[in-house]
Amino acid sequence: MPFDIGDRHVTIEEYAAEKGIAYFRAAHEINILCNEAAKKRADNMTAAYDPGPIPPSLVRGKPKPFVYSYTLLNNYANVCPHQTYRRYVKKDQPFVETEAMRWGNKVHEALEYRLGGKPLPPDMQQWEPIVAAFDGRGATAEQKLGIRRDGKPCGFFDDGVFFRGKIDVALINGSTAYILDWKSGKSNYESAFEIETNALLLHCLHPHLKKIVGAYAWLKENQLGQLHDLSDTNGTWQRVMELVDQFEADNTWEKRKSGLCGFCSVEDCENHFVARPK
């Protein structure tokens, strides 16, 4: 989308290429130029009548501030920077809901209802023992939380939200919290980073917490993964900010060839192929 920077309209990609700078630096500079252009327009209009400065919310056509999530940062760090750029920055990839995603959403919804007191559907009864452990203990389900860039808590959809996430299950008992994340895929590989970011969001909202632990519930295998200590939320925030810094300074968006290219939506990439169903 082109933005009005005063003397012309330009997209962030064009501006970045013209100046030889990274995408996020270009977005930042365009933001400033849009503000200046809007101010100039307002100054011209106020020659006869001065209604005061234009409220920032009325300055149209500015790039939207970027909101980070575990999914985005994990995709950037562990899948492919170029795919991340196309999905989240350039946004030219169509959203296609796969069968696995549909099933995952259905499972999350059923478990959320179960925590709210409704029974699990007949084809999910095998998970009753896991979810029954939370009965009557005040656990929250599918809690949406956000953090501002200065580390302060905010709403998931608030203006100025910088990082956000959804916690499948959280149980707080005094200064201790337990987090559980439902996983409908296979447990081939387990990294704590997702629930570490959940712990970060929870700790930000409840600063009195001293200990946070958590696990993944591997539903296909009907078992809990290992218990992770997630209490080092300062370390998690640092890791998040390191990834954000790398992402914002990136102007090459490496194409990282791997078996995952077979499931990628970027069909114009030379590494793309269609994986055969197993």
List residues near ligand SF4 by CB under 6 A: 80, 82-83, 255-257, 260-261, 264, 266, 269, 271-272
Q: CB 252 → ligand SF4: shortest distance, Å?
A: 13
Q: What is the CA radius of gyration of the chain?
A: 22
Q: Which residues touch 85 (CB under 8 Å, ≥6 apart)?
A: 23, 250, 253
Q: Is the CB of 27 or the CB of 261 nearer to ligand SF4?
A: 261
Q: Is the CB of 49 or the CB of 95 nearer to ligand SF4?
A: 95
* Residue 214 burial (10 A CB sphere; 0-12, 13-18, 19+): buried
Q: Is the CB of 13 or the CB of 109 nearer to ligand SF4?
A: 13
Q: How far apart are CA 34 and CA 209, in angstroms?
A: 42
Q: Is the CB of 12 or the CB of 266 nearer to ligand SF4?
A: 266
Q: CB 157 → ligand SF4: shortest distance, Å?
A: 29
Q: Maximum CA pair distance of the chain? A: 73
Q: How far apart are CA 46 and CA 48, in angstroms?
A: 5
What are the distances in angstroms from CA 109 to CA 59, 77, 102, 172, 184? 39, 29, 11, 22, 12
Q: CB 228 → ligand SF4: shortest distance, Å?
A: 28
Q: CB 3 → ligand SF4: shortest distance, Å?
A: 26
Q: Is the CB of 199 or the CB of 261 nearer to ligand SF4?
A: 261
* Residue 236 burial (10 A CB sphere; 0-12, 13-18, 19+): buried
What are the distances in angstroms from CA 222 to CA 18, 167, 189, 218, 226? 54, 20, 16, 6, 13
Q: Is the CB of 249 or the CB of 274 nearer to ligand SF4?
A: 274
**Cβ proximity of 223 and 232 under 8 Å:** no
Q: Is the CB of 88 or the CB of 237 nearer to ligand SF4?
A: 88
Q: Which residues touch 2 (CB under 8 Å, ≥6 apart)?
A: 9, 10, 11, 14
Q: CB 88 → ligand SF4: shortest distance, Å?
A: 12
Q: CB 85 → ligand SF4: shortest distance, Å?
A: 8
Q: CB 222 → ligand SF4: shortest distance, Å?
A: 32
